[in-house]
Every structure is written in structure tokens, then in C-alpha cells.
């Protein structure tokens, strides 16, 4: 019996029952001005390609990933390819002019981003040194922002690298979203043109991950507008 039929039968069985007064409709809850402003502004997402290894597979996955980020409603995407950044592994509080020039390729993009998607391979059960290096050269640029993690590799799909990164980003006061996208035996999943051979599962996973990233980015940005982080 559908809802309409059930309601009519009830009224027929009890004709003398007084009709209940209609309750006034409740107004929709209004957003705090800071949250309303944040909701109307696109989320700036920096997609970071973490490998700079010669012959890397990362650009193939990055193109696929970047297309999904740009297609997601509410995002403005920018690409940071660590193969284009040559930072020394010796950190300095007074970097040379040459190092400052390299930092200028990446630091402003990190600072402007509301959220990040980090694409990492798995090298020897962890993530690459190029990624750790750019993480360690920065701090404020990461703080109180969300990050989504996408990985690729062999049988493990890079998931061990992802779990290591969660610990690092927690130390930097970041929020790692729960869902990930991982490509197991990645080389066999894409054709010679860089198209995923059977994308339905990966696309569904990417959508769920990006939905979570958008929520966290929106919430954290609005919260920081209302009250600076750590205050």
C-alpha cells in the first residue's frame, strides 16, 4: 500500500477524528556569514605530483586525476609538479638566491591553496624523497588545510606510502581525508594514450574522495575566517 492510499484509508475509517492543525513550516536554517561567504567561493586545490624520478609514471595518473578535480563542482585546480622544482635537501632559514628562486615556483601556490591532492608513488614501502623535501621546506602553508591522497604502484597500489604521509601531515596540523584512490599495478590500468581502461571504479572512488575534500576545505576555510587557527 503506498503512502497516499494509506492516508486515505485512515481518514475514511475515522471520519469524526478532528483534523490536526497544520504546523507552520520551519524556516530553513541560515548560515553564519563567514560560512555563507566561504560556500560561495570556489575552493582552490593544488594537485601535487610527488615523484621527480626519471621515467616516472606519475604524469599519466596526474592527467587522469587533474581532469577529475577540474570537473568537480566548486574547485579551482592548479598543478605543482615536483620535477620542475629543484630544492636542496639541506634546509636553511636563510636560503640563497638560487634556492629562493626555486621556492618561488611552489611556495605561493601552496600558500594560496585551500586544499591539496597529493599524488604519490611507493618507493621501497614509502613515498619519494622529493615529496618529503617540499613538505619540510614549508610549514605555515600546510597548516589547518585538508589533503587527499592518491597513490599508484605495484601490488600494494602505493597504500603504504599513503599511510606514512598521514602521520607526516598530522604533525603539520593538516586533515587527511579518509577516502583515497589507489592504482594497483598501475602500468596495466592505462592504455598508450593515458586513458584508464576500466575507469568506473576509480572514478567513483575519486568522486567520494573529492566530495570529502571539498567539505573539509569549505569548513576549515570558513572556520579560519571566523577565528584564526590556534587562537
The residue with greater pLDDT, 11 or 32, is 32
Q: Which pLDDT value is given to residue 17?
A: 45
**Band of pLDDT at residue 40, cut at 50, 70 and 90:** confident
**Confidence tier at 35 by pLDDT (50, 70, 90):** low
Supply the pLDDT for residue 231: 84
Across the range 57-72, mean pLDDT stands at 96
Which pLDDT score, from 0 to 100, does residue 37 have? 56
Q: Which residue has the higher pLDDT, 37 or 119?
A: 119
Question: CB count, 10 Å around CB of 85?
Answer: 18
**Cα–Cα distance between 102 and 98 in angstroms, integer?**
7
Give the gyration radius of the chain's Cα atoms. Answer: 24
Nearest to 51 by CA among 150, 144, 171: 150
Cα separation, 136 vs 124, in Å, equals 20
Do residues 84 and 59 touch, judged by C-beta distance below 8 A?
A: no
Give the C-alpha separation, 146 to 213, whole Å.
6
The model's confidence at residue 59, banded by pLDDT at 50, 70 and 90, is very high
φ/ψ (deg, to 5) at 144: 60, 40
Domains of the chain in start order, with CATH, are: 41-226 (3.40.50.360)
For 135-174, what is each residue's pLDDT tens digit? 999 999 999 999 999 999 999 999 999 999 999 999 999 9
Residue 167 and residue 164: Cα distance in Å, rounded? 6
Report the b/e string of 181-220 with b at 16+ CB within 10 A: bbbeebeebbeeeeebeeeeebeebbeebbebbbebbbeb
Pair 62, 49: CB distance under 8 Å? yes
Q: Mean pLDDT, the chain, as a whole number?
A: 88
Amino acid at each position: 500500500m503506498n503512502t497516499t492510499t494509506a492516508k486515505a484509508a485512515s481518514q475514511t475509517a475515522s471520519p469524526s477524528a478532528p483534523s490536526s492543525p497544520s504546523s507552520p513550516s520551519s524556516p530553513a536554517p541560515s548560515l553564519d556569514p563567514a560560512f555563507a561567504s566561504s560556500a560561495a567561493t570556489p575552493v582552490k586545490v593544488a594537485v601535487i605530483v610527488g615523484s621527480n624520478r626519471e621515467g616516472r609514471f606519475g604524469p599519466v595518473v596526474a592527467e587522469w586525476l587533474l581532469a577529475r578535480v577540474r570537473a568537480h563542482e566548486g574547485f579551482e585546480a592548479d598543478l605543482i609538479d615536483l620535477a620542475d622544482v629543484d630544492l636542496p635537501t639541506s634546509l636553511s632559514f636563510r636560503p640563497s638566491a638560487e634556492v629562493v628562486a626555486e621556492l618561488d615556483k611552489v611556495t605561493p601556490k601552496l600558500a594560496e591553496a585551500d586544499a591539496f591532492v597529493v599524488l604519490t608513488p611507493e618507493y621501497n614501502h614509502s613515498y619519494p624523497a622529493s615529496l618529503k623535501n617540499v613538505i619540510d621546506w614549508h610549514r605555515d602553508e600546510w597548516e589547518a588545510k585538508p589533503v587527499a591522497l592518491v597513490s599508484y604502484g605495484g601490488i600494494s597500489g602505493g597504500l603504504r606510502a599513503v599511510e606514512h604521509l598521514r602521520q607526516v601531515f598530522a604533525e603539520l596540523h593538516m586533515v587527511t581525508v579518509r577516502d583515497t584512490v589507489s592504482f594497483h599495478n598501475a602500468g596495466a590500468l592505462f592504455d598508450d594514450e593515458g586513458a584508464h581502461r576500466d575507469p568506473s571504479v576509480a572514478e567513483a572512488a575519486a568522486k567520494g574522495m573529492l566530495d570529502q575534500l571539498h567539505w573539509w576545505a569549505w569548513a576549515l576555510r570558513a572556520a579560519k575566517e571566523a577565528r584564526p587557527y590556534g587562537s
